Structure 1
Amino acid sequence: MTIIDGIILLGFIAVFLAIGLLGENKTETTEDYFLAGRKLKWYQIGFSLFATNFSASGLIGITGAAYVIGIAIYNYEWVGIMAIVFFALVMVGVVRGSRVYTIAQYLTERYDERVKTLYSVFIILLLVFIDMAGSLYAGGLLLHQFIPELSTHAVIMIIMLMAGLYSVVGGMTAISRTDMYQSLILILGAFLIAYFSLSAVGGWSAFLETAPEGSLNLIRGLDDRAVPWTGLLTGIPIIGAYYWLVNQNMVQWVLSAQDQTEARRGLFMAGFLKTLALFVIVLPGIAAITLIPGLTEADRIYPAMLVELLPVGVLGLVLAGFVSALMSNTDSTLHAASTLVTMDFIKGHRPDISPRQLVWVGRVTTFIIIGVSAIWAPMIGNFGTLFEYVQGLLSYAVAPFVVVYLGGMFWPRATSGGAIAALAAGLVTAALIGLLGDVVGLFYIHYLHVPLPVAVVSAGTLFAVSLHGDIPAVDPRLLWSSTRSLDATKVNMARDRWIAALLVLITLGTVFVFK
């Protein structure tokens, strides 16, 4: 990395820190600190969701996966867009109407404290050891290559301190403000990578001619090593449902919206931005097969593209985009985990604690999470590729929580006893599949085939146990109804349906072209 690139990179980092620390920050109450006073606009939500989604681990993981398996990796993205549309049109009314801080708080009111505790503990572990640690590992992997004087551990700690600083000081308001600018730099950097990679390969026509056979096919056969069509139908939708509907890291932005209309349109904006991933992240990864052949470590593809393709000055800007993605995901994940710990455990055990004290507890919790994630992040290199690490763990872990959360929202008869039994049955099933298949080797099962049997066992258990219990008395605001999804102004809802239809049309059109 040249001096010019270094100056550009450090300049953008300084700007991001200044934006996070020097702007107006509302931290007087818990609602201010953890949910930005529930006053975020649609564009703030959209940029924040996009930046949180396309983290540093996403850039490195998706690019590396595209290099190895081709365009099939985009199946995760377009299914995610469908989950976003479902969230916006169907679930926003319930989520917003519940007036909770966290999904765990919703589960407490819908079921009981036991369900909340299981959810909170498990999701905190996922946030710390998958979302946070994955991004830090990716950041350390790439930045160490350009700043070899610093060890990977040192790079990880520096990024954690930078993102953690304004997260601790300014809370959700500071995070939403920085995310907006970081998203713009992230998008610009991704476009530059796409431009230089496609130019180097000879343009669009040359790219289509040189792409390996089958690499531009979204829908794959049953024996495909990456995304068999059965896994696309059964596994990815459950993972996508967890990520967009059940993950506190994403749902917190909907809870922070000014109203339902702002929440829906923020989700739609994130969906439209996600459509860019195919062209600025996935296709450049496929182009790298021709430009940089023979690389065996998938996680090294993105750094290699930066080294081989980008001229002086542009490299610094693209690295700034990468750091933007890294900081944006880090700050959002930190805040989500801190909110869960503070609001679901500390406040529950200390109901008399003041809002100011809760804010300080949240800040201390953030620093603790920073330390744990930074210690674990270097270990990820022992689990194969970053993408396989993330998707493999999610495939085994999340289905029971998706079933219990959505089951409680859409089925009034679901009971707390049924929810506990469903979580236990699902987690035991996942553990048995992993033990007998991956450890003992009695059978082989693709990780995308795991979520469905786990979900079926969980749903069957929830149904059977709930029907044998007493009918629960559930507050109507915690349940979905056809009228609850309607906004006070029906004109806004009608317009939003047209926006949703356009987003779905663009998404399915892309799938049809590359099927």
Structure 2
Amino acid sequence: MTVLDWFIVAAYFGILAAIVWWSSRRVKTSTDYFLAGRDVGWFVVGASVFASNIGSEHIVGLAGSGAANGLAQAHWELHAWILVLLAWVFVPFYYRSGVFTMPEFLERRFSSRARWILSVVSLVAYVFTKVSVTVYAGALVFRTLLADVFGSPDQAFWVGAIATVLATGIYTILGGLRAVVYTEVLQTALLILGSAFITVFGLSALGGWSELREVARLQGEQWALWRSNEDPNFPWLGVMIASAITGIWYWCTDQYIVQRTLAARSLQDARRGALWGGFLKVWPVFIFLVPGMIGYALHLKGIIQIPTDAAGRVQGDMVFPTLVAELLPLGLRGLVVGGLLSALMSSLSSLFNSCATLFTVDIYEKLRPGRPEAELVRVGRIATAVVVGLGLLWIPIMKVMAESKAGLYDYLQNVQGFLAPPITAVFLLGIMSRRINARGAVWGLGVGFVLGMVKLTLQSMVQNGVLDRSTWLGAIGDFNGYYFAGILFLISVLIIVGVSLLTEAPPEEKVRGLTFRTVSAEDRADSRKTWDWRDVALTLVVLGLVLTIYLYFSFWV
């Protein structure tokens, strides 16, 4: 890192500080703090959705997965079509309901018990997976790039991790969601620009796109987009089922993402923002996944040296840091480090604010209703500080867990794959059918979560040699996780529908305006006024790009 690199990083923090100062002066009510006053335009909504999704674990982990597995992981990065689903199907229900959180929507549609279950599960999952994984991934890059500055790789790891978490925590505490979404506009630009430089310089060093295709051809199915159904890691049918289930959960029902659309100033801004986020989501395949493939190809040709493990396998999570350290000229490293900081801080700030919103709105305000606005803002800030502390405490454990897995991205997909199916089932059935009731939703969520955690526990025991694969429990643990996600979704659907049909129908106030068949003619007419040809055109562009990428990579080797 040169003086120019540090100047670029310092300029990034200067602009960030100005945005936070401006945002903090506008926080007066809980709506200001948790939903940015419901006054965010579509461009900012879309940029915030994109930046929230792309954390440091995404950049580092996805590059590692690209090196190890080629295009097999690309299915999760082509979820722009699901953002179209969010825009046209889910957003109108969420926005009309006026809720702050996704658990609050479940209470409107079902019951307070469903709200409690989703709130607690979401909070625990955020703290012990997303927060710690995001920080750990960012710290890996600091360890590689800043070892000379801090004296040793380990010191760089910890100083970088702690400093970034504290800085992000401070600006989230002060500015709330307004600070989060407006800083994410800056962070989106840095993310795309910095990562694009990695792709460009990597291809230049390798010899161009045709050379990458040649390496892919030699790798054969290992780098193919579609694998056979006998493939132990990425059977194509399991991948398509699981990626759709987890994608709908993540993009259409997770507080972490949907909160941005709830902050929009109108239904039109919410819908168009989701579509704009979908357009941005098309590009991570090229700027995050493909660089990992480029890095591995450069390693095979001896142009760069990526650290390997005792068995001689490339350490996937070190691919991105190595590319930055060995390929980029002076000055551009600062831009890419700024992009990485953007990824780390945007994801963390989104997580911190989402956790604070869930705790304050879904737990604290339920236990102590009618509290003044100033108290709710104060509790939200305290909750953010607690999440910051818990995330820091969990990093050492995350470090051990990540090093025992194939990679960060795969680890995160595993955990999410076992949490997502019951949530996806409840939300989809909840808006599709007025007959689904609270008992069905609660039983579906409860049984689904228990089965998912049992599978995750057994799988971890098998992978770490605690449980023998030859036993029946070991066989469950060793069963392909993608197929299991599909089975768990089906079980959740059967429980929700079965229990609902065996018990009384929900009262009218629980379905009015919250299912397709109960939306009033007036609401339908109002919704029709919130979109025009531009929204349709953007929808067609997003879907066309996704289809084009699928077709190209299906036949590229």
Q: How far off its partner does 1:430 sit?
A: 2.4
Looking at structure 2, the residues matched to 435 and 16 of structure 1 have their Cα atoms a distance apart, in angstroms, of 41
The whole-number CA distance in structure 2 between the counterparts of 1:135 and 1:8 is: 23
1:2 partnered with 2:2: yes
Find the aligned partners of 2:76 and 2:396 in 1 and give their Cα distance.
25
Write the mapping of 1:43-442 to structure 2, written as runs, cut at 5 A. 43-78=43-78, 80-148=79-147, 149=150, 150-211=155-216, 212-214=219-221, 216-293=223-300, 295=308, 296-383=314-401, 384=405, 385-434=407-456, 439=461, 440=467, 441=469, 442=472
Task: Find the aligned partners of 2:139 and 2:525 in 1 and give their Cα distance.
Answer: 45
Structure 2 unaligned blocks of 5 or more: 301-305, 309-313, 462-466
Indicate how the Cα distance of structure 1 residues 426 and 152 shifts in structure 2: closer, same or farther if over 3 A, else same: same
Structure 1 stretches (4+) deviating beyond 6 angstroms? none
| Matched-pair identity in % | 29
The alpha-carbon deviation at position 486 of structure 1 amounts to 6.2
Whether the 8 Å CA contact 1:153–1:374 is kept in 2: the answer is: no
| Aligned residue in 1 for 2:311 | none
CA distance in 2, matches of 1:465, 1:73: 36
Distance 1:396 1:351, change over 3 A: same
Are the structure 2 counterparts of residues 312 and 321 from structure 1 closer, same or farther at C-alpha, using a change threshold of 3 Å? same
Work out the CA distance in 1 between the residues paired with 2:524 and 2:430: 16
- Confirm or deny: 8 A CA contact 1:82 1:504 kept in the other structure: yes
Q: Check the 8 A contact 2:268/2:530 in 1, yes or no.
A: no
SS in 2 for 1:492: coil
CA distances 1:246-303 after superposition (whole Å, capped 9, x unpaired): 1100010111111111111111111111111122112111111121246421111110
- Of residues 478, 500, 505 in structure 2, which corresponds to 1:471? 505
Supply the distance in 1 between the matched residues of 2:527 and 2:426 (Cα, whole angstroms): 29
Alignment deviations for residues 284-331 of structure 1 (CA, whole Å, 9 cap, x no partner):
111111212464211111101111111111111111111011111111
Q: Distance in 2 between matches of 1:457 and 1:205?
A: 46
Contact 1:56 1:139 (8 Å CA) reproduced: yes
Secondary structure in 2 matching 1:476: coil
- 1:258 counterpart SS class: coil
Q: Choose which of 439, 450, 457 in structure 1 pairs with 2:491.
A: 457
Q: CA deviation at 1:146?
A: 2.0
Write the distance in 2 (CA, Å) between the matches of 1:486 and 1:169: 40
1:496 to 520, 535, 538: 535
The structural deviation recorded for 1:397 is 1.7
Greater CA drift, 81-90 or 12-21: 12-21
Distance 1:438 1:332, change over 3 A: closer
Alpha-carbon shift at residue 505 of structure 1 (Å): 1.3
| Superposed displacement of residue 494, structure 1 | 4.4
User: Secondary structure, in 3 states, of the residue corresponding to 1:351?
Assistant: coil
Q: Tell me if the contact between 2:248 and 2:424 (Cα under 8 Å) persists in the aligned partners.
A: yes
- For residue 51 of structure 1, report the CA deviation from its aligned partner: 0.6
The Cα RMSD (Å) is 1.9
TM-fit CA distance, 1:496: 1.7
The Cα shift of 1:514 comes to 0.8
- State the alpha-carbon separation in 2 of the partners of residues 304 and 191 from structure 1: 16
Q: CA deviation at 1:434?
A: 4.1
Count how many residue pairs are aligned between Structure 1 and Structure 2.
514
Structure 1 residue 154, shift from structure 2 partner:
2.8
Distance between the aligned counterparts of 1:369 and 1:267, measured in 2? 27
Unaligned 5+ residue runs, structure 1?
A: none
| SS, match of residue 513 in structure 2 | helix
- The answer to whether the 8 A contact 2:69-2:223 is kept is no
The SS at the match of 1:477 is: coil
Normalising by structure 1, we get a TM-score of 0.95
- Report if the CA contact (8 A) 2:249-2:424 is conserved: yes
After alignment, is 289-298 or 159-168 more displaced?
Answer: 289-298
Deviation at residue 156 of structure 1 after TM alignment: 1.8
Worse-superposed segment, 464-473 or 373-382 = 373-382
Shift of 1:436: 5.4
Cα 1:99–1:223 change in 2 (3 A) is same
Bigger drift between 141-150 and 16-25 goes to: 16-25
CA offsets per residue over residues 352-397 of structure 1, 9 Å max, x none? 2101110010001000000001111232232212112201111112
Q: Do 2:448 and 2:491's aligned partners in 1 also have CA atoms closer than 8 Å?
A: yes
8 A Cα contact 2:75 2:240, kept in partner: no
Q: Which moved more, 1:209-218 or 1:219-228?
A: 209-218
CA contact (8 A) 1:342 1:358 kept: yes
Deviation at 1:166, TM superposition (A): 1.6
Contact preservation (8 Å) 1:216, 1:514: no
